[in-house]
Each structure stands twice: as structure tokens, then as C-alpha cells.
Amino acid sequence: MSPLHDLLVVAHTHWDREWYHTAERFRARLVALIDELLDEPPPAGESFLLDGQAVLLDDYLSVRPERAAELSALLRDGRIEAGPWYVLADELIPGGEALVRNLLAGRGAVRRLRGEPPPVLYCPDSFGHPAALPALARGFGFQLVVLWRGYGGARWPAADTVRWRSLGGDDVLVHHLPPDGYEFGSSLPSTP
């Protein structure tokens, strides 16, 4: 008999504020998604991740300010998670100060609603990562970074989990998502 393994499933959405639809059309879809989460929240002990960015909270509350207390309660209980970024960053274009301020803004947005960002620096959609990413992560107390894109042309090294050490000596554990990244499982049938 094969050894048993724990399988961890992270219920989440990937969210582009605008891309192949207008920002307004995407916002309407976001409002429907969060309405559904508030109407049928994850059970106690489970959570739903809003793509590692806190701007979704502000976008939602700009349309549904009357639901702030419900959203706050689920964030406080860890049943909905957002952040640590305010917006998912293209990490190679802005300077280091902009990345720091992005993380500060994300943490602030979640904490204003009495939640705490997840303890993972989630970077699923950046097309590259600065050499100082371990130092940035450690500066905010993160020991784990999850990436998908921007990992190099060939899968280096062969493992999905590696330790990345910056030139200054800061190191983090990096988990590289599978080839389908944040879409893993998205093509599963809706009925068994």
C-alpha cells in the first residue's frame, strides 16, 4: 500500500481588476462573488483566499458598504483571506520602495476590517521576481513565498519547493505552483 499524503486545497480566486473586460464588468463579477461568500460563507475552520490582494475589499465595499460588518467578521475569523499585497505587483517594474508601500497598504486595508493577511507572500502572476524578494519577504515577516510565473524558462531546480537566499543572506522557502498555476483544477467537471 502506498503511503498516505496530506492534500491541502486552497479555495481561491485569481482576480484581474481589468483585462479582457472593463473594470466595471469585472467589478460586477467581484460583487457577485463576494455576495455569494457572505451569503454562504466557508464553514468554521475553512477559508477562501481573495487572490493575495486587498484591493478587492475596497472595490467590493465601494459598491456594498452596507456589508462591511459581515465582511469584517469573516476576515477576522479567517474564513475570508485577503492580502498581503494591496494589488498584485509586477515585481520587476516598480522599485523596491513601491513594493514595500504596496505591502504596507495591503496589510493596512485588511487590518482596517479587523483581519490579518495570510502569512504567505503570494506572487502568482508576476513575470519575474527581483533578487531582493527574500529580503522583502523577511522584512514583512514572511518565511514562505508562493510563485507561479517568473520562475525561469526551464523548471529550475527539479523540485517544486526550494530555499531562496538573497545576496544579503535573507532566505525564504519558495513553493512553485504546478504548471497550471492558480488555475489548477479549474477544468474539473462541476458534477462528479
For the chain, domain boundaries: 1-118, 120-192
With 60 as the cut, is the pLDDT of residue 180 above it? no
Cell numbers standing for residue 142: 514572511
Strands (E), the chain: 48-49, 80-81, 120-123, 144-147, 161-165, 171-176
Averaged pLDDT for residues 82-106 = 93
Averaged pLDDT for residues 16-27 = 86
Residue linked to cell 475570508: 80
Are the CB atoms for 139 and 106 separated by under 8 Å? no
pTM comes to 0.86
Residues with catalytic annotation?
125
Question: What is the CATH architecture of 1-118?
Answer: Alpha-Beta Barrel (3.20)
Q: Which tops the pLDDT comparison, 100 or 154?
A: 100
* pLDDT at res. 110: 98
With 60 as the cut, is the pLDDT of residue 175 above it? yes
For the chain, percent of residues with pLDDT exceeding 90? 59
Find, among 89, 90, 80, the residue nearest to 57 by Cα: 80
Alpha-carbon span 56 to 86, nearest angstrom? 8
Amino acid at 144: L
Range picked from 118-127, 129-138, 154-163, 171-180 for highest mean pLDDT: 129-138
* pLDDT at res. 156: 52
pLDDT-derived band of residue 129, with 50, 70 and 90 as boundaries?
A: confident
Roughly what angle, to the nearest 10 degrees, separates helices 23-39 and 68-76? 70
* pLDDT at res. 11: 73
CB atoms within 10 A of CB 140: 16
* Residue 173 β-bridge partners: 144, 163
Cis omega (within 30 of 0) for bond into 117: no
Whats the size of the chain, residue-wise?
192
Q: What is the Cβ-side half-sphere exposure of residue 105, based on CA atoms within 13 angstroms?
A: 17
Averaged pLDDT for residues 154-178 = 81
